[in-house]
Amino acid sequence: MSVGILGTGHYVPTKVVTNKDMEKIVDTNDEWIRTRTGIEERRIADDDTDTSDMAYFAAENALEEANVKAEELDLILVATVTPDSPFPSVACRLQDRLGATQAAAMDVSAACSGFMYGLITAKQFIDTKTYKHILVIGVEKLSKITDWEDRNTCVLFGDGAGAAVVGEVSEGKGILSFELGANGSGGKYLYQDEHDHLIQNGREVFKFAVRQMPKSAVNVIEKIGYNKEDVDYLIPHQANIRIMDAAREKLGISEDKMATSIKRYGNNSAASIPIALSEAVKNGNIKDNDLLVLVGFGGGLTWGAVALRWGK
């Protein structure tokens, strides 16, 4: 059995906050943000839109594209570090709102690697024929844990959701290999403090990411006996354009073969990879039979990568 993605969807809030807007909030400037991160603007959800709302909008989009009804779902996995509340889970809230009455539901906490953890977990359930259709969502309302007085972090993050319906696909397509990892000793570099604010040691996270993300991308290609030149499209976690370029250059991929939603949305944590994937599919940048590499890293510290042959 081959396991792949049947449909994708995404949602970003309508409110746009530009770098010029950030100049009015903290001591920073547009050039500094752009040259160091690649971010020009980000989307911020309003007070009436919570994490589960964004997850719902992305889920509806993905289910429609996959031609799968909510009641056909067997499991809902939501990757997030910003749930509406500690419990019930976002997945349970979503199960009810979608009317996915046959689905089990749980949240996954692996920060920016969350979607990768969810996608690979979904594959195991389908491989064992336990479940047939699984909805995997990465969603964050990072604006509610952002310290808007900390110029080192507040310029980086945005809100949004990306979704994928996972199920059986044709032989030779779908997920061909994967890698998951964690290094808990690095948790002190990226965490949520006692004030519920996101704290990041940018220098240490950058050093970890530029080492791990290219390494994982190459690893999943080598596991299936392919060469770097065989990769058609790279979808990295949208954390920092310099980190993304490090992975792209390690694979020898041109700029037009890498998803770059960071410019418009900033870092969406667990939502960044599925948003970038969904956009690339809808824009026609990903075509049937393309070999994709999805790779990310996040707090924990965690990381994950997948080599995937696109198509049903």
Q: Give the tens place of pLDDT for each residue, 183-198.
A: 999 999 999 999 999 9
Q: Percent of the chain at pLDDT above 70?
A: 100
Contact 22, 152 (CB under 8 A): no
- As a whole number of angstroms, the distance between CA 186 and CA 180 comes to 16
For the cut 90, the answer to whether the pLDDT of residue 131 exceeds it is: yes
What pLDDT was estimated at residue 217?
A: 96
- As a whole number of angstroms, the distance between CA 211 and CA 11 comes to 30
Point out the catalytic residue in the list 61, 237, 268, 285.
Answer: 237
Domain edges within the chain: 2-169, 174-309
Instruction: Tell me if the bond preceding 301 is cis, omega within 30° of 0.
Output: yes
Considering the domain delimited by 174-309, tell me its CATH architecture: 3-Layer(aba) Sandwich (3.40)
Q: What is the mean pLDDT of residues 149-169?
A: 97
**Active site includes 133?**
no
Model confidence at 14, pLDDT cuts 50, 70, 90, reads: very high
Residue 33 structure tokens? 């943000």
For the cut 90, the answer to whether the pLDDT of residue 205 exceeds it is: yes
Point out the catalytic residue in the list 19, 112, 154, 240.
Answer: 112
> What's the first-to-final CA gap in the chain, in angstroms?
12
What pLDDT was estimated at residue 1?
A: 81
Mean per-residue pLDDT over the chain, rounded? 97
Q: Give the tens place of pLDDT for each residue, 293-310.
A: 999 999 999 999 999 999
For the cut 90, the answer to whether the pLDDT of residue 156 exceeds it is: yes
CA distances from 116 to 98, 180, 297 (A): 23, 8, 9
Point out the catalytic residue in the list 19, 61, 240, 267.
Answer: 267
Contact 221, 293 (CB under 8 A): yes
Q: Give the tens place of pLDDT for each residue, 20-40.
A: 999 999 999 999 999 999 999
Correct CATH for 2-169 of 3.40.47.10, 3.10.20.440, 3.30.200.20, 1.10.10.60: 3.40.47.10
Instruction: Tell me if the bond preceding 88 is cis, omega within 30° of 0.
Output: yes
Q: What is the mean pLDDT of residues 172-182?
A: 98
Q: Give the tens place of pLDDT for each residue, 277-297.
A: 999 999 999 999 999 999 999
Torsion sign across C-alpha atoms 125, 274, 307, 112: negative
Dihedral, CA of residue 274, residue 275, residue 279 and residue 285, to nearest 10: -50
**Active site includes 267?**
yes
What pLDDT was estimated at residue 70?
A: 98
Burial per residue of 141-151, b for 16 or more beta-carbon CB atoms within 10 angstroms, e otherwise = bbbbbbbeeee
Q: Does the reported pTM lie above 0.95?
A: yes
**Active site includes 237?**
yes
Torsion sign across C-alpha atoms 92, 140, 116, 8: positive
Do the two domains 2-169 and 174-309 of this chain adopt the same fold? yes
Where are any strands of DSSP class E within the chain? 2-11, 16-18, 41-43, 75-79, 104-108, 134-140, 160-169, 174-182, 190-192, 198-200, 233-236, 291-298, 302-309
